[in-house]
Amino acid sequence: MSKSFNVAVAGATGAVGVEMVKTLEKRNFPVGNLRLLASARSAGKTMKFRGEDVVIEEMTENSFKGIDIALFSAGGDISKKFRKSVVDAGAVMIDNSSAFRLDPDVPLVVPEVNPEDIAGHNGVIANPNCSTIIMLVAVAPLHRAKKLRRLVAATYQAASGAGAKGMDELVTQTRQLLDGQPIEPRAFAHRIGFNLIPHIDVFYDNGYTKEELKMLNETRKMLHDDSIRVTCTCVRVPVLRAHSEALNLEFADEITPDEARAILAAAPGIKVVDDPANKLYPMPVDATEKYDVLVGRIRQDISRDDRRGLDIFVAGDQVLKGAALNAVQIAEHL
């Protein structure tokens, strides 16, 4: 008989928590007992898992007794508060917040990129930022082949990055704008309907946002290379779900678009969608609810005099590969 594992999902009622529960079921993860944890106001409600109703419990220090793996998507403060309870109970926390990503003793893992780092955990493994995950699934195989030196990114991040409330706000504002009604931004700093907001997370003194610097620091940590230069501009766009990114890549060695396509086609977690003549390229609508990151628009960087530069475009489901799926894949490796 195959071994089963007792799993807790913390933040089970949020957009990512709901997706974690669905992903455990879809991927036939060997769940013995499933414990769904949330705030007091959600306690007593139920969620379906494998056709059965599972009652949501209020998360407390005692919630992790008998648990093997705790999937957390309840925000950084909650993760910090319950870390000791999880580890003391003998469970492994797989955390989707930014709380521990840059801790030197916490592995930061995308299974397609650096699965070997999982073994070094001390009870906590961190899920990277969603934009970093989607980017590195595509970039890591190219880096392994040709050594990445510099990366310039522009992101097109969906409303789902702000959770269920972000998605709801986009739908509501779209209706209000079409009906000529006044709108009042709540989830975002400005209106998101029919607009772009080049502002995700807080600004630092150097003019970059926290989200943009996450992509730099997390890339270096996961690729184990502090010499890689990264600059990016993160933009919220009026797309419901799935992030897209335009990436300009500079390598130590020469690389052609055909070489890149061959490397990417052989890499896990990627679907190459690169046939512009037939209007085929990555789009968020096609990446939505898909496990793979879509990669296309692969072309030589014509601003250079050598063949060390590439431009690519990627799209990936922020809620799935950018969060829930990545966490469950880490649990599978565990």
What is the C-alpha R_g of the chain?
A: 20
- In angstroms, the CA 166 to CA 178 distance is 18
Q: Which of 130, 143, 232, 234 is catalytic?
A: 130
**What's the rounded Cα separation, in Å, for the pair 283 and 243?**
9
Q: Which distant-in-sequence residues (6+ apart) come within 8 Å of 110 by Cβ?
A: 128, 133, 136, 137, 140, 222, 326
Residue 295 pairs in a beta bridge with: 272, 314
Contact 121, 333 (CB under 8 A): no
Helix (H) or strand (E) holding 150: strand 148-157
Active site residue 130: yes
Rounded to 5°, the CA angle 96-125-5 comes to 95
H-helix segments, the chain = 15-26, 76-88, 130-146, 163-178, 210-223, 257-265, 284-287, 325-333
Rounded to the nearest 10 degrees, what angle do helices 210-223 and 130-146 cross at?
Answer: 40
Residue 232 annotated among the catalytic residues of the structure: no
Instruction: Give yes or no for a contact between 85 and 109, defined as CB atoms under 8 angstroms apart.
Output: no
* Dist CA 199 CA 197 (whole Å): 5
First to last CA, the chain: 18
CA distance 319 to 42: 21
Strand partners, 125: 94
Known catalytic residues?
A: 130, 243
